[in-house]
């Protein structure tokens, strides 16, 4: 057994360290079929233990990869041989929840779903939501600045974190457990840790902002003819729903046709329209359904929608959301390359046109399936060219990423960079920006032992 593993067992006990064959029995991550390659998986049960582990690894120059729910999509929490995987799975306490202050104090290993449930039980609401809610952890949501479906109204995870506590690579504890919406007293250090994908420290606890539970929800599905009608619908609904628009999810024809074609029963709207839009409004007020109908009717009366259906029951809400969430059905097209890009709404149609024509030129039988959180400038693009080879992945990535700078876009909207997009970072961030990232990395992690090789190339710690 490696000396560091024994030293970790000495401080955490046997129950705090997974090693040997037990490590190999774990999957590397949600999206991977490979087994975990870490030297050991450590499972500290407190901030103090995280600090002890990191101080020990720091003294021994052992690299550490923080691990939340393992649901990331960019190989951000994958350990290489010789590295220690630091799992927060024993830190799942919801420490407190205040209905008056509308805050929750939680350990980083709490799952998103557990927090959603706890908030709901207290007649409150935690608005972040995404498909992996049952496994994804709050620590991971913070480390990746998670997005999801309700960003258009409630913002990303960044907007929901009031304070946090993190252990830095040398084991020191940076506690910034602010509980207030407003606190302008010096640099807002938490902002650097949010979205840093575990490369600057390990988030151990957080203070999160909760909202009032919304008494009412309305959902509709709309089909439209042109992308300019999509934009028009977005602006109309955002304005006239007066703050309650909570989702505006656009599915290009190929998405809707594939998913509904794979399901039993008649779809809520006929297939074949160019664009489908899921609209959700959550709010209070009086007669919200009536208001929702009125606003949709005004849109319809302009002749800029093909068809629309308003969910009349929770089951119909679930059906409409089920179509939007059924990305598994897309797998019928074969092996897939998945992308998550962002660009200004005004440039989306041209961008999708450009990558489609390049794909068609090279792979006439490709499928390019597009959907997204348009209000957040976020497109998901899944591309099927009947290959999963590394070389073909690189060629397809080039088609997707290369034009983005020209469109003022970004290679990652909400999934992050991790290891998978690391070599493309320079496509949409400048050399000056990347140099500044390196310099900041060095301040937090001069020995480059904290999740090295994620976001920035491995040698990046030494500026």
Tell me if 241 contacts a second copy by CB under 8 A: yes
Residue from 417, 420, 449, 452 binding a second copy (CB under 8 A): 417
| Total residues binding a second copy (CB under 8 A) | 97
Instruction: Rank residues 6 and 172 by Cβ distance to a second copy and give the closer one.
Output: 172
Instruction: Rank residues 16 and 127 by Cβ distance to a second copy and give the closer one.
Output: 127
Tell me if 15 contacts a second copy by CB under 8 A: no
CB-facing half-sphere around the CA of 154: CA atoms within 13 A: 26
Report the site for a second copy in 123-142 (rule: CB under 8 A): none
Report the site for a second copy in 137-176 (rule: CB under 8 A): 144-145, 147, 151-153, 155-156, 158-159, 172-176
Q: How far is the CB of 314 from a second copy (least distance, A)?
A: 19
Residue from 437, 449, 452, 461 binding a second copy (CB under 8 A): 437
- Please give the backbone phi and psi of residue 43, each rounded to the nearest 5 degrees, phi first: -130, 70
Report the site for a second copy in 355-384 (rule: CB under 8 A): 373, 375-378
- Three-state secondary structure call for residue 341: strand
How far is 325 from 188, CA to CA, in rounded Å? Answer: 35
Residue from 94, 114, 271, 434 binding a second copy (CB under 8 A): 434
Report the site for a second copy in 291-350 (rule: CB under 8 A): 291, 294-295, 342-346
Instruction: Rank residues 102 and 358 by Cβ distance to a second copy and give the closer one.
Output: 102
- Please give the backbone phi and psi of residue 132, each rounded to the nearest 5 degrees, phi first: -85, 20
CB-facing half-sphere around the CA of 250: CA atoms within 13 A: 29
Tell me if 431 contacts a second copy by CB under 8 A: no
Q: Determine which helix (DSSP H) or strand (DSSP E) holds 95, and give its type and residue range.
A: strand 94-98
Residue from 52, 178, 397, 451 binding a second copy (CB under 8 A): 178
Instruction: Rank residues 77 and 269 by Cβ distance to a second copy and give the closer one.
Output: 77
Q: Which stretch binds a second copy (CB under 8 A): 35-43, 270-278, 288-296, 303-311?
A: 288-296
How far is 121 from 214, CA to CA, in rounded Å? Answer: 13
Q: Which stretch binds a second copy (CB under 8 A): 12-20, 42-50, 287-295, 385-393?
A: 287-295
Instruction: Rank residues 63 and 376 by Cβ distance to a second copy and give the closer one.
Output: 376
Instruction: Rank residues 261 and 426 by Cβ distance to a second copy and give the closer one.
Output: 426
DSSP 289-316: HHHHHHHHHHHHHTT--SEEEE--SHHH
- Please give the backbone phi and psi of residue 245, each rounded to the nearest 5 degrees, phi first: -60, 120
Residue from 47, 196, 258, 260 binding a second copy (CB under 8 A): 196
Tell me if 288 contacts a second copy by CB under 8 A: yes
Start-to-end CA span in the chain (Å): 34
Q: Which stretch binds a second copy (CB under 8 A): 4-12, 127-135, 181-189, 250-258?
A: 181-189
- Quick one: CA torsion of 285, 289, 295, 296, rounded to 10 degrees? 160
Instruction: Rank residues 231 and 338 by Cβ distance to a second copy and give the closer one.
Output: 231
Instruction: Rank residues 301 and 364 by Cβ distance to a second copy and give the closer one.
Output: 301
Report the site for a second copy in 22-81 (rule: CB under 8 A): none
Instruction: Rank residues 241 and 352 by Cβ distance to a second copy and give the closer one.
Output: 241
Structure tokens belonging to residue 202: 């390990």
Q: How far is the CB of 462 from a second copy (least distance, A)?
A: 14
How far is 190 from 163, CA to CA, in rounded Å? Answer: 7
- The b/e string for 404-441 (b: 16+ C-beta within 10 A; e otherwise) is beebebbbbbbbbbbbbbbebbebbbeeeebeebbeeb
Which is nearest to 136 in space by CA: 414, 413, 371, 420? 414
Structure tokens belonging to residue 232: 């028009």
């Amino acid at each position: 057994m490696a000396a560091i593993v024994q030293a970790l067992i000495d401080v955490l006990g046997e129950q705090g360290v997974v090693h040997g064959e037990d490590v190999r029995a774990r999957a590397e991550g949600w999206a991977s079929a490979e087994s975990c390659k870490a030297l050991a998986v450590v499972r500290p049960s407190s901030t103090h233990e995280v600090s002890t582990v990191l101080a020990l690894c720091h003294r021994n120059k052992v690299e550490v990869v923080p691990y939340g729910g393992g649901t990331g999509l960019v190989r951000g929490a994958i350990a290489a041989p010789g590295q220690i995987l630091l799992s927060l799975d024993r830190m799942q306490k919801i420490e407190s929840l205040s209905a008056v202050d509308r805050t929750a104090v939680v350990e980083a290993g709490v799952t998103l779903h557990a927090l959603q449930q706890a908030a709901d039980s207290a007649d409150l609401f935690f608005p972040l939501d995404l498909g992996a809610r049952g496994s994804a952890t709050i620590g991971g949501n913070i480390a990746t600045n998670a997005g999801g479906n309700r960003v258009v109204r409630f913002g990303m995870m960044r907007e929901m974190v009031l304070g946090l506590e993190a252990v830095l690579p040398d084991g020191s504890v940076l506690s910034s457990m602010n509980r207030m919406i407003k606190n302008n007293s010096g640099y807002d250090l938490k902002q650097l840790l949010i979205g840093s994908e575990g490369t600057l420290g390990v988030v151990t606890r957080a203070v999160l902002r909760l909202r009032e539970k919304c008494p009412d929800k309305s959902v509709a599905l709309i089909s439209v003819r042109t992308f300019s009608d999509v934009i028009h619908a977005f602006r109309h609904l955002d304005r006239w729903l007066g703050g309650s628009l909570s989702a505006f999810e656009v599915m290009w024809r190929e998405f809707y046709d594939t998913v509904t074609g794979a399901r039993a029963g008649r779809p809520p709207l006929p297939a074949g329209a160019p664009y489908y839009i899921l609209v959700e409004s959550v709010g209070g007020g009086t007669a919200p359904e009536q208001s929702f109908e009125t606003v949709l009717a005004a849109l319809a009366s302009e002749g800029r929608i093909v068809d629309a259906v308003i969910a009349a029951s929770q089951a119909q809400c679930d059906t409409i959301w089920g179509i939007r969430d059924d990305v598994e059905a897309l797998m019928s097209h074969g092996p897939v390359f998945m992308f998550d890009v962002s660009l200004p709404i005004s440039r989306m149609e041209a961008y999708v046109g450009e990558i489609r024509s390049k794909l068609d030129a090279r792979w006439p039988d490709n499928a390019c399936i597009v959907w997204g959180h348009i209000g957040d400038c976020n497109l998901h693009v899944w591309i099927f060219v009947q290959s999963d080879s590394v070389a073909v992945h690189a060629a397809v990535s080039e088609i997707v990423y290369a034009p983005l700078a020209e469109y003022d876009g970004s290679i990652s909207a909400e999934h992050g960079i991790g290891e998978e997009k690391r070599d493309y970072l320079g496509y949409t961030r400048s050399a000056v920006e990347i140099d500044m990232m390196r310099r900041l990395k060095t301040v937090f992690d001069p020995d480059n032992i904290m999740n090295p090789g994620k976001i920035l190339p491995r040698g990046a710690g030494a500026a």
